[in-house]
Amino acid sequence: MAVKRTARKGAYPSYWRLDRHYSNIEFRFTYDLPQEESIRIAAEGIFALYLDGKDNYRNNQSLITLPAGKHEISISLFNDTEVPALFIAGDHICTSSSWEVRSYQNDWVNAGSWTFNSASQPPSQFRLALTPQEPIRSELRDGFPLLDFGKETFGYLRFHGLSGLGKLCISYGESIAEALSPDECVLIDELDVTDMIAGAEEGSYTLKNAKAFRYVWIQADAEVHWQTVSMLYEYVPVTYRSSFQCSDPKINEIYEMSLYTLHLNTREFFLDGIKRDRWVWSGDAYQAFLMNYYSFFDLDVTRRTLVALRGKDPLTMHINTILDYSLYWFISLYDYYMYTGDLDFIRVNYNRAVSLMDFCLKQRNEEGLIVGRPQDWVFVDWADFSNEGAVSTEQILLSRGLEAMSQFAGLLGDDEASASYGKLAEEIIAATLHLFWDKDKGGLLHHRVDGENLPELTKHANMFAMSYDYLSAEQRDSVIRNVMLNPQVPQIRTPYMRFHELAVLCESGQHEYVRNEMLSYWGGMIDLGATTFWEEYDPTQTGDTHYGMYGMPYGKSLCHAWGASPIYLLGKYFLGVKPCEPGYAAFIVEPHLGGLEWLKGAVPIADGEVEVDMNEHRIRVRSTSGQGRLRYRTKGQPHEAVIPADGEWMEIRL
């Protein structure tokens, strides 16, 4: 996946070390059979089976009869191209996660197991789902066809009834302008028609590589002809488990478009964007995870993404080369546990979390603050500020990461480590508030170089400090007033950081402000013809300049996962559903109209769901699981009511 990105005419693999599976492994399983049993072994890799430790007497036959009684099966398996995998479905002997596996590092663990439930469905053949899509429109531009698929999509272009001799040049565009610019579009294919015809099946040639586009412009040599062009849309068949509707159709449109934007980026892993980079970025994924909890609740893609981001030891560079992105990984794991209650996954990843934290903690300066090494990228956001020295945002993320580690260590029974992480988290946040808080400006300054604060004030550290509850009530008020709602403080241009900005404002009860911001910011993209949300949006730009980024006229991604944050904002702060205990064992429902006449919708809560239906006069709510509490206000007074987990609607008059 990390090498699927292309830029113009070449591959653009990610610029970090890529780690692979362990190629050489061994499975073991102890059985006790009343009578002998024949099993058929399907393996991806070179395997050998032996019984009861007699490893000099190995067998590679796929059909084997196991003797009755109690015996230990050992199967060594080697595969250096695909993940080694084993499938047995005997009458009693079946592969499952109760088998153990090791990579010969003294590390017997339970084997991984997923939905590959037949020998004809090996893991290496895993592919996302496909479904045909047709262009909604075709017109000639400079004599060549420009096809419009109606909205942003992703998949494999197909040519039907292709004939003739010559070359085809396909320029892809998320915008018309991009498709019509073969010299500057990001994605382009040049194909030899003879090869295509040779590779056609039943008269149709499907391109080998999937791409993101809405438009394609096909420049063909004169002797090349075809009947039609379509595409195979490629996607994860997620369930849309959330919904949101309200009295403002524009908000409804924003919500639906957000779901589609997130869905397009929900793939083998959560991607940043489907045109570019098609990579797995930890900071982007941190938000996609949260959006996912308020929509598809697809934990498989979350787990895959967390595992892929972390990679293997030894660590020499940060996740994605970015200091903050290492820190987001801990917080993502923390959120995962809170939303799912899945301690097993935490357990499996704990050692890797410890070594990542060790790696991070080696980078603290004499004040105890984490700083980037020369080879590190300290990102924070696409914005015009310097990240030299110790950046306040990084300290807050580190502190939150340490809190997560403290929680994990405690849950896994290492009280000493838990206390140690907890103490360090407190020290770092205390130092951060002490060193970076500017009384005159009423917020946390951006960075500190050589032990001296620089005057720059940004929203970033302040909003994270609010989110993670590191501020006193007085500090919170000051931050809202002097930083978040202060037009003198530089505005945030990326949906990435608007996510946190608007979440914090919701947490401070600024729902109406947030609704208006959604309308102007996300609504602004829709007004410009967006069918999915963008990587960055600056309302002051005009025309095709909106599409430029990174010094390329079409460099901007127009379908970026972080653009989908209204899912999170509307689910968590308008429908108001929040877990209080891991896996939604207990949760709060605290809906806010935020100036809307009415709203209704659903949020998945682990295996169950909550539905909310609110207008100015009443709240209706139903839940299918967990200990839910409804929070609401009548005549300015807060109230709380227990929500039964029986799936029946309850109603509160306001």
Binding site for a copy of itself (CB under 8 A): 2-3, 6-18, 20, 22-24, 26, 46-50, 55-61, 76, 78, 80-81, 103-107, 186, 313-314, 316-317, 321, 375, 550-552, 555
350 or 464, CB closer to a copy of itself?
350
Does residue 277 have a cis bond before it (omega within 30 degrees)?
yes
Closest to 290 measured CA to CA, from 80, 114, 503, 138: 503
Closest to 564 measured CA to CA, from 314, 294, 189: 294
Q: How far is the CB of 12 from a copy of itself (least distance, A)?
A: 6
Q: Which residues contact 549 (CB under 8 A, 6 or more apart)?
A: 535, 536, 555, 556, 557
Q: How far is the CB of 560 from a copy of itself (least distance, A)?
A: 17
318 or 447, CB closer to a copy of itself?
318
Q: Enter the tokens of residue 601.
A: 């919708």
**69: helix, coil or strand?**
strand
- How many Cα atoms are found within 13 Å in the side-chain-facing hemisphere of 619? 25
91 or 313, CB closer to a copy of itself?
313
Q: How far is the CB of 62 from a copy of itself (least distance, A)?
A: 11
In contact, 12 and 91? CB cutoff 8 Å: no
15 or 240, CB closer to a copy of itself?
15
Residues facing residue 391 across a β-bridge: 447
Q: How far is the CB of 598 from a copy of itself (least distance, A)?
A: 47
35 or 351, CB closer to a copy of itself?
351
Q: How far is the CB of 213 from a copy of itself (least distance, A)?
A: 18
Q: How far is the CB of 483 from a copy of itself (least distance, A)?
A: 35
Q: How far is the CB of 96 from a copy of itself (least distance, A)?
A: 23
- Residue at 650: amino acid letter: M
In SS3 terms, 466-494 reads as HHCCCCCHHHHHHHHHHHHCCCCCCCCCC
14 or 458, CB closer to a copy of itself?
14
- Give the span between the Cα atoms of 635 and 184, in whole angstroms: 59
Distances (CA, A) of 112 to 22, 67, 101, 213, 267: 13, 26, 9, 35, 20
**165: helix, coil or strand?**
coil
321 or 420, CB closer to a copy of itself?
321
Q: How far is the CB of 57 from a copy of itself (least distance, A)?
A: 6
Q: How far is the CB of 303 from a copy of itself (least distance, A)?
A: 22
Q: How far is the CB of 555 from a copy of itself (least distance, A)?
A: 7
User: Exposed/middle/buried for 497, CB within 10 Å: 0-12, 13-18, 19+?
Assistant: buried
Residues facing residue 171 across a β-bridge: 188, 217
46 or 449, CB closer to a copy of itself?
46
23 or 420, CB closer to a copy of itself?
23
Q: Enter the tokens of residue 162.
A: 């292709």
Q: How far is the CB of 2 from a copy of itself (least distance, A)?
A: 7
127 or 617, CB closer to a copy of itself?
127
65 or 316, CB closer to a copy of itself?
316
- Give the span between the Cα atoms of 267 and 273, in whole angstroms: 11
- How many Cα atoms are found within 13 Å in the side-chain-facing hemisphere of 186? 29
Can you spell out the DSSP letters for 364-426?
A: B-TTS-B---TT-B--S-SSS----SEEHHHHHHHHHHHHHHHHHHHHTT-HHHHHHHHHHHH
Q: How far is the CB of 355 from a copy of itself (least distance, A)?
A: 8
Q: Enter the tokens of residue 465.
A: 């400090």
Closest to 33 measured CA to CA, from 67, 72, 73: 67
6 or 349, CB closer to a copy of itself?
6
354 or 411, CB closer to a copy of itself?
354
**535: helix, coil or strand?**
coil
- Give the span between the Cα atoms of 153 and 172, in whole angstroms: 11
Q: How far is the CB of 178 from a copy of itself (least distance, A)?
A: 14
- Give the span between the Cα atoms of 285 and 306, in whole angstroms: 8
In the chain, what is the straight-line distance between the N-terminal and C-terminal CA atoms, in Å? Answer: 51
Which residue shows structure tokens 């904002």? 569
Q: How far is the CB of 61 from a copy of itself (least distance, A)?
A: 7
For helices 459-467 and 495-507, angle between their N-to-C axes, nearest 10 degrees: 50
Which residue shows structure tokens 């991984």? 112
* CA 633 to chain CA centroid, nearest Å: 35
47 or 325, CB closer to a copy of itself?
47
- How many Cα atoms are found within 13 Å in the side-chain-facing hemisphere of 523? 12
61 or 163, CB closer to a copy of itself?
61
22 or 534, CB closer to a copy of itself?
22
Q: Using CA atoms of 343, 114, 335, 258 in order, give the dihedral in degrees to the nearest 10.
A: -160
Q: How far is the CB of 11 from a copy of itself (least distance, A)?
A: 5
Q: How far is the CB of 621 from a copy of itself (least distance, A)?
A: 50
